[in-house]
Amino acid sequence: MFGLEKRDTSMLIIVAVLTMFAPFILNPFPAGSALAQFNAGYPDLMQRFVIFGIFAIGFNILFGLTGYLSFGHAAFLGVGSYSAVWMFKLLSMNVIPAIILSVIVAGLFSLLIGFVSLRRSGIYFSILTLAFAQMSFNLAYSVLTPITNGETGLQLTLNDPRVLGVSATADGSIPVTNLFGMEMRSTFELAVGPWAFQFNAGYYLCAVILLLAFYLSIRIFRSPFGMMLRAVKSNQQRMNYTGLNTRPYTLAAFVISGMYAGLAGGLMASMDPLAGAERMQWTASGEVVLMTILGGAGTLIGPVLGAGFIKYFENIFSKINDGVLHSWFSFMPDGLENAMVTLIHPFVGKGWHLTLGILFMLVVIFLPGGLVEGGQRIRKWAKNKRSGGETPTGKTEPAE
């Protein structure tokens, strides 16, 4: 189906089910219950899940296939955001032209940076990409303020010319982003007993684009081009000795990866028409590296799982404050309740980075292949349980 093998088709269907039914999957607990704190089925967070999933899928095409570790991919994310906002300011509030421009500009920018950076490999390549990203951040933050609006960030105003649209609505407010008239912030809420499920137009646009991006990544992984990139990762020096020039392949992978990042940046701006220099900082580049490694670098579904894992726990841990903790332990005697709150307080709220760091260390130590390896171990255990015996040794399956 779709020109894919049976296993790849199954994986695409799994991702499609997870994204299309996310409002139900991410809202397992009734609203108002103590466990509702762990629900994540609201539009803003679901949009971040799929947007950063696209970002990580693109990064995995470079890092997972070629082994080239870039610390500067946030530059393309930021460039895509700025391009989309400028399209909203000058042309129209339709998200399609903005997304297309984001991908094109990010592709051109990545071609320039990749052409220079790929003259080196290993740690030197990583440092070069980091340097370019930091230069881009500083240019956006201070030097190019007429284009980027500096530290304030680029945003829409009532004075925008907007050739194919109005600068202000009838009530004097700024128009909202839309897809041929369907507003991206449009949300339908379905109440089923104590549960409330939200279906957001912007989220489903991002989800469909994620599925297309995932399908394209599968085709790249299974293509002769993908096999060549795997060979580069395996032993690039040996390939050079045979007389094969690998630079066009690595440059193409770098540009494709940059275009994915630009697509993610364009979608970010489409959901919230604001672009700031902070999206180009080295921390944003480090985040996508963590997502890819955590999910499983070089696998197909790993980056999507890693992006969802980090964004979910980042949101959950950061919003657990002392009031929530006291409500959880209110059944205990006062002294014990206060002791439990004091014990857990450093790991949640403002200290959520510590908890996320511990989770990341645990995954790296016990699951070197990422979350995908964890899934494979569970599947192997379940298969052994059903068969009542052990799996023959020597048979291994590639991580996907």
Spans of all domains in the chain: 6-289
Contacts 24+ apart (CB under 8 A), 109-113: 109/75, 109/76, 109/79, 109/258, 109/262, 110/76, 110/254, 110/255, 110/257, 110/258, 110/259, 110/261, 110/262, 111/251, 111/255, 111/258, 113/72, 113/75, 113/254, 113/258
What is the C-alpha separation between 178 and 205, in angstroms, rounded? 10
Q: How confident is the model at residue 162 (pLDDT cuts 50, 70, 90)?
A: confident
In the prediction, which pLDDT does 24 show?
92
Tell me the three state secondary structure of residue 94. Answer: strand
Q: Which range has the top average pLDDT, 28-42, 157-171, 202-216?
A: 202-216
In the prediction, which pLDDT does 389 show?
56
Q: 396 pLDDT exceeds 60?
A: no
What is the C-alpha separation between 83 and 206, in angstroms, rounded? 18
Q: How confident is the model at residue 278 (pLDDT cuts 50, 70, 90)?
A: confident
Q: How far apart are the first and last CA of the chain?
A: 18
pTM, whole model, 2 decimals?
A: 0.91
In the prediction, which pLDDT does 103 show?
96
In the prediction, which pLDDT does 132 show?
93
Q: 394 pLDDT exceeds 80?
A: no
Q: How confident is the model at residue 399 (pLDDT cuts 50, 70, 90)?
A: low
Q: Which fold has domain 6-289?
A: ABC transporter involved in vitamin B12 uptake, BtuC (1.10.3470)
Task: Tell me the CA distances in angstroms from 173 to 159, 180, 393, one per residue in order.
Answer: 11, 19, 67
Q: Please give the residue that has the higher pLDDT: either 197 or 324.
A: 197
In the prediction, which pLDDT does 398 show?
52
Average pLDDT over residues 277-300: 88
Q: Which residue has the tokens 């980075």?
A: 353
Tell me the three state secondary structure of residue 190. Answer: strand
Average pLDDT over residues 35-62: 91
Distance of CA 275 to the CA centre of its chain: 17
Q: 158 pLDDT exceeds 90?
A: no
In the prediction, which pLDDT does 3 show?
75
Mean of pLDDT over the chain: 88
Q: How confident is the model at residue 230 (pLDDT cuts 50, 70, 90)?
A: very high
Average pLDDT over residues 91-113: 95
In the prediction, which pLDDT does 390 show?
53
Q: Which two tokens stand for residue 114?
A: 């990749």
Element (H, E) at 155: strand 154-155
Average pLDDT over residues 313-332: 85
Task: Tell me the CA distances in angstroms from 18 to 12, 34, 207, one per residue in order.
Answer: 10, 25, 10
**Percent of the chain at pLDDT above 90?**
46
What is the C-alpha separation between 323 and 325, in angstroms, rounded? 5
Q: What stretches of 156-283 adopt beta strand conformation (E)?
A: 178-179, 182-183, 187-192, 195-200, 274-275
* Phi, psi of 265, deg, nearest 5: -65, -40
What is the C-alpha separation between 266 and 377, in angstroms, rounded? 37
What is the C-alpha separation between 78 and 261, in angstroms, rounded? 9
In the prediction, which pLDDT does 284 show?
86
Q: 393 pLDDT exceeds 70?
A: no
Distance of CA 306 to the CA centre of its chain: 8
Q: Report CA torsion sign: 145, 151, 154, 158.
A: negative
